[in-house]
Amino acid sequence: MKNLLLFLTVITMISSAKQTISYTLSMPQPHTHLLSVEIRISNIVGASLNMHMPAWRTGRYVLMDFSGGVQNFAATDEKKHPLPFKKTDKDTWHIEKGTTGTVIVTYKVYANEFNMRTRELNSDHAFVDPLSVFMYTLESKDSPLQLTVIPYGNWKVTTGLDDVSGTPYMYTAPNFEHFGDCPLEIGNQQDFEFFVDGKKHIISIFGEGNWNIDTLISDFTKIVIANKEFWGELPYNRYLFMIHCQPNAGGGTEHINSTVMGVRPFIFSNLIAYKGFLGLVSHEYFHTWNVKQLRPKAIVPYDFSKENYTEELWVSEGTTSYYDDLILLRAKFWDTKRYLENIAQMVNNERLRYGNSVQPLAEASFDAWIKYWRGRQNAQNAESDYYGKGSHVSLCLDLEIRHRSKNASSLDTVLRTMYQRFPRTKGFTNANLQSVCEEFGGSSFKEFFLQYIYSTDPLPWEQVLAYAGLVVTPKDTLQKVGTGITTLDAGEKTKIANIIPLSPAERSGLEINDEIIAMNGIRVRSADFTERIAAMNAGDSVSLLLFRNDKIKEITMKLENYGTPNFLITKTGTPTEQQKAIFEQWLHSPW
Ligand SMILES: [Zn+2]
């Protein structure tokens, strides 16, 4: 009886041993751009094993097909005997493993895609978003894993991953999703520390530039504190700001306890450009809560094998875009005059983009995978932008809640509540957001969501800005001559990059990609095209000589008063007490 029990216990232990996975990354020849990966998978049950390469990375909702960069795939057992394998789809390698319990997979990845913030290896450094480099198995993806990095030469590693104490360059993650959300910088980057609330923050800079580390630490600290005041806590033990200071660098990506941001090396002495960079820092850091913690339900958990459709990206990206500027104002990087100019620009952009009248914001979120990130030629005319329009709707929603609650609540209150009620493992929907808005706004937001998120109604800028005592007026005359054309200077050629639907240009029969050679017999250069048009009058006809598919064409366009005016935002001269109070609490600035 005793022996039988022991036997049963051993059987149970064997069958319940979970598959484990560990990774080794090396880069022996950086100039070849080839990263070398070795993956050891143990406790495999069954006669075969599927290895999967992620199809996309977090923060960029488009399939990037990382398997396209994989080469020299091989699989062996523990004794280095080769195992047969074949690909069964674009991302999957099927290995016939036989009786062995451990499989070792090796492959190389071509890494020269810096601007995608995915993978790069060259003689200067390596940058690795793990989702673009490492394969996973479905059986081990929820289990703890280890990564060992063998840096080239004297390079070091900076990452948000926790290290395994006592072992150089060995890291651990609780599961593949967390692993995939911790990029690594490997090279001679410079790391600087500062502390907020006793928590270590690291600024890691790859590349030279005219930055001043004391200024960066002082300004980043203000952004961290402003966010901590907003959300109530810092949801990490340690945070890493990775900066790529490189020519032509720009943009950033948020991660679970880090961000990677690109900036041109010599912008730091230019105050406007530097504040633009702080806007990027503010944006990516706000994501630490909004999208890395407060996540759309459809991306809980992430499925790296295919598109993860969600109607809530306008909250993740648009609301973050709204607050990235607002937090800079509240942290005193901007004054209210500058912020009101920013709102005027938001009004201009929203009214100018024809696609806002075609595609609802929820649909723009859902279709990010096939539209926004594909950069389609007719995007301006057919698509709403879930970043830009999402930020515009967020501003309107904020002022609507402040007005209805008589300044007792705001979108700040709603987001903080959402953050507490919908933790990372739960996720939220637009319906959840609407419900919390109603709770704090005190009345139904059904119409608001229907009109501005699920339909394409023009935003009620005049109405909502008046809640804060602000007035929207056209900055210039409504009566100005326009064509609806955007031109592109392609070397010596002036090409049509966009034509707004229902504009004079569209009515005249002009097409995108037409090369305008001359107007009224005189050569056109894109720099002077708009100026020459502006000097004409409504009713004038212009003769345009074109190349279209290498054939000469002549088209006559009749000019009209056409276009959207630029707007100006000013404070009313006769504010009510509530308007003043809303203004002050919204912007954290005196009326
Ligand atoms: Zn973002």
426 alpha carbon, distance to own chain's centre: 21
489 Cα: distance to centroid of ligand 1 (angstroms): 30
Cβ atoms 275, 305 nearer than 8 A: no
Contact 352, 381 (CB under 8 A): no
Tokens found for residue 397: 């929603």
Peptide linkage before 565 cis (omega within 30 of 0): no
- How far apart are alpha carbons 299 and 313 in whole angstroms? 10
For 112, phi and psi rounded to 5 degrees?
-150, 50
DSSP letter for each residue of 342-400: HHHHHHHHHHH-GGGGTS-HHHHHHGGGTTGGGT-TTHHHH---TTHHHHHHHHHHHHH
Q: CA of 583: how far to CAs of 63, 138, 388, 461, 501, in Å? A: 42, 51, 22, 15, 37
Ligand 1 centroid, distance to 311 Cα (angstroms): 16
Distance 536 CA to ligand 1 centre (A): 42
59 CA to centre of ligand 1 in angstroms: 7
| Sheet containing 170-173: order of strands | 70-76, 103-110, 34-42, 20-26, 145-150, 170-173, 162-163
What was the pLDDT predicted at 11? 44
Q: How far is the CA of 265 from the centre of ligand 1 (A)?
A: 22
Cα-only R_g, the chain: 28
Q: For residue 206, give the nearest of 271, 140, 159, 139 by alpha carbon.
A: 159
Contacts of residue 231, Cβ cutoff 8 Å, sequence gap at least 6: 289, 415, 416, 419
Distance 562 CA to ligand 1 centre (A): 34
Q: CB-based burial of residue 272 (10 Å sphere; 0-12 exposed, 13-18 middle, 19+ buried)?
A: exposed
Ligand 1 center to 323 CA (angstroms): 11
CA of 283 from ligand 1 middle (Å) equals 6
Q: How far is the CA of 315 from the centre of ligand 1 (A)?
A: 10
Contacts of 459 (CB under 8 A, 6+ apart): 350, 392, 393, 396, 452
The whole-number pLDDT of residue 220 equals: 98
Cα–Cα distance for residue pair 558/536, rounded to 1 Å: 11
Per-residue confidence in pLDDT tens, the chain, 591 aa: 445 444 444 444 444 689 999 999 999 999 999 999 999 999 999 999 999 999 999 999 999 999 999 999 999 999 999 999 999 999 999 999 999 999 999 999 999 988 789 999 999 999 999 999 999 999 999 999 999 999 999 999 999 999 998 889 999 999 999 999 999 999 999 999 999 999 999 999 999 999 999 999 999 999 999 999 999 999 999 999 999 999 989 999 999 999 999 999 999 999 999 999 999 999 999 999 999 999 999 999 999 999 999 999 999 999 999 999 999 999 999 999 999 999 999 999 999 999 999 999 999 999 999 999 888 899 999 999 999 999 999 999 999 999 999 999 999 999 999 999 999 999 999 999 999 999 999 999 999 999 999 999 999 999 999 999 999 998 876 678 889 999 988 778 899 999 999 999 999 999 999 999 999 999 998 778 888 998 999 999 999 999 999 999 999 999 998 888 889 999 999 999 999 999 999 999 999
Report how far ligand 1's centroid is from the alpha carbon of 144 (Å).
Answer: 28
pLDDT at 406: 97
Ligand 1 centroid–CA 62 distance in Å is 14
The CA 60 to ligand 1 mean position distance, Å, reads 9
Closest CA to 289 of 358, 234, 218, 346: 234
* Residue 583: closest CA among 497, 472, 470, 463: 470
Ligand 1 center–CA 557 separation, angstroms: 41
24 closest CA partner among 165, 160, 169: 169
Query: In which element (H, E) is residue 575 found?
Result: none
* Res 531: pLDDT: 87
Q: State the amino acid at position 533 in one-letter form.
A: I
| Residue 478 confidence (pLDDT) | 62
pLDDT number for residue 477: 66
DSSP calls for 89-125:
ETTEEEEE-TT-S-EEEEEEEE-EEGGGTSEEESSSE
- pLDDT at residue 170, as a whole number: 98
How many angstroms is it from 282 CA to the middle of ligand 1? Answer: 10
In three-state secondary structure terms, 401 is helix
Q: How far is the CA of 217 from the centre of ligand 1 (A)?
A: 22
CA of 6 relative to ligand 1 center, distance in Å: 55
**How many other CB atoms are found less than 10 A from the CB of residue 132?**
25
- Ligand 1 centroid–CA 420 distance in Å is 21
Burial 56-70 (b: 16+ CB within 10 A, else e): bbbbbbbbbebbebb
Q: How remote is the CA of residue 219 from the centroid of ligand 1, in Å?
A: 20
pLDDT score for 16: 60
Q: What is the phi/psi pair of residue 87, to 5°?
A: -80, 135
- Report the distance separating Cα 353 and Cα 361, nearest Å: 13
Looking at residue 5, its pLDDT comes to 46
Rounded CA separation 211/204 (Å): 12
